[in-house]
């Protein structure tokens, strides 16, 4: 299937709840609200024609001061962040992209770590760099920046060369309660 065909299928299934859908250079994406994330990813995975069973990537984007003309129509979007999920179907060899609009003040997205193990670390990274919380995540700690870091480095309003010193390294990283997915 081409990505456009997948998008049409997604539009037919989730039509009313899509915030935007988008095509550029043959690659397609849809923007949804956090509540639709889990149903949509599960549907993409289970639909026999799409069968996107691989979650390849999870990343955040901060759109502070820039709103792309991606079909959402207005320049002044209500959400500032997006969490981007790249899915891939090995069986049918096609990719698709799902973007979750995350609006301030409560930056919360449901976690998918129980569906894909990779989401565990990737969501921790999005939390670390953007400050978006993942509801249901078992171990939402910083992963790339150190423990004493204040703020979220990849936000557009974080100055690039604002350095924060680490005074003492973390002693214990073992958490007994963590179930590794």
Partner 1 sequence: MSEGTKVPAIPSELMTLNVGPAHPATHGTLRLQLQLDGETIVNSACEIGYLHRGFEKQCEAVYYQFVIPYAERLNYMGPVHNSNAWCFACETMLGIEAPPRAQALRVITSEMGRIIDHAVCIGTNLVDIGALTNFWYMYNYREKIYDLYEELCGARMMVNYPRIGGVSLDAPDGWFDKLLRVIDEMQEAVGEVRALVERNRIFMDRTIGAGVITRELALSHGVTGPCLRAAGIPYDIRKAQPYWGYDKYDFEVPTAEGGDTYDRTVVRFQEMYESCKIIRQAVASMPAGPVMVDDHLVALPEKDKVYNTMEGLINHFKLVMHGIKPPVGEIYSATEGGCGEVGFYIVSDGSAKPWRVRIRPPCFANYSTFPKIIQGAMLADAIAALGSINIIAGELDR
Partner 2 sequence: MGLENELEGMPVLATRLDEVINWGRKYALWPMPYGTACCAIEFMGVVSSRFDVSRFGAELVRFSPRQADLLLVMGTITQKMAPVLKQIYDQMPDPKWVVSMGACASSGGFYDNYSVVQGIDELVPVDVYVAGCPPRPENVIGAIVKIQEKISNESIRNWR
- Which residue ranges make up the site for partner 1 (CB under 8 A)? 22, 24-25, 27, 29, 53-57, 59, 61-62, 66, 68-69, 84, 86, 90, 93, 95, 97, 116-118, 120-122, 129, 142-146, 153-154, 158, 160, 170, 172-176, 178, 180-181
Nearest alpha-carbon partner for 94 in 51, 139, 41, 142: 51
Structure tokens, 112:
């998918």
- Residues within window 124-153 making contact with partner 2, judged by CB under 8 A: 144-146, 149, 153
What DSSP state is assigned to residue 93?
Answer: T
Alpha helices in 15-65 (DSSP H): 34-46
Question: Shortest gap between Cβ of 112 and partner 1 (angstroms)?
Answer: 11
Question: Shortest gap between Cβ of 117 and partner 2 (angstroms)?
Answer: 24
Question: Shortest gap between Cβ of 49 and partner 1 (angstroms)?
Answer: 18
What DSSP state is assigned to residue 3?
Answer: H
Question: Shortest gap between Cβ of 29 and partner 1 (angstroms)?
Answer: 7
What DSSP state is assigned to residue 178?
Answer: P
Tell whether residue 16 is a contact of partner 2 (CB under 8 A): no
> Rounded to the nearest 5°, which phi and psi values hold at 32?
-130, 170
Q: How many CB atoms lie within 10 A of CB 91?
A: 12
| Cα 162 to Cα 150: distance, rounded to the nearest angstrom | 11
Of the residues 162, 172, 174, 175, which one makes contact with partner 2 according to CB under 8 A: 162
Contact residues for partner 2, defined by CB under 8 A: 144-146, 149, 153, 158-169
């Amino acid at each position: 299937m081409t990505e456009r065909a997948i998008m049409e299928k997604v539009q037919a299934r989730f039509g009313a709840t899509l915030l935007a859908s988008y095509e550029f250079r043959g690659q397609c994406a849809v923007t949804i609200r956090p509540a639709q994330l889990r149903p949509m990813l599960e549907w993409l995975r289970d639909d026999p024609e799409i069968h996107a069973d691989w979650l390849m990537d999870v990343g955040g984007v901060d759109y502070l001061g820039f709103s792309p003309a991606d079909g959402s129509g207005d320049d002044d979007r209500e959400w500032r962040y997006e969490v981007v999920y790249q899915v891939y179907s090995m069986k049918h060899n096609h990719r698709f992209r799902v973007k979750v609009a995350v609006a301030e003040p409560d930056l919360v997205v449901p976690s998918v770590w129980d569906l894909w193990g990779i989401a565990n670390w990737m969501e921790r990274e999005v939390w670390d760099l953007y400050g978006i919380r993942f509801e249901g995540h078992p171990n939402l700690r910083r992963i790339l920046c150190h423990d004493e870091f204040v703020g979220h480095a990849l936000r557009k309003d974080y100055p690039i060369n604002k350095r924060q010193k680490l005074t003492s390294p973390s002693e214990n990283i073992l958490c007994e309660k963590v179930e590794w997915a």
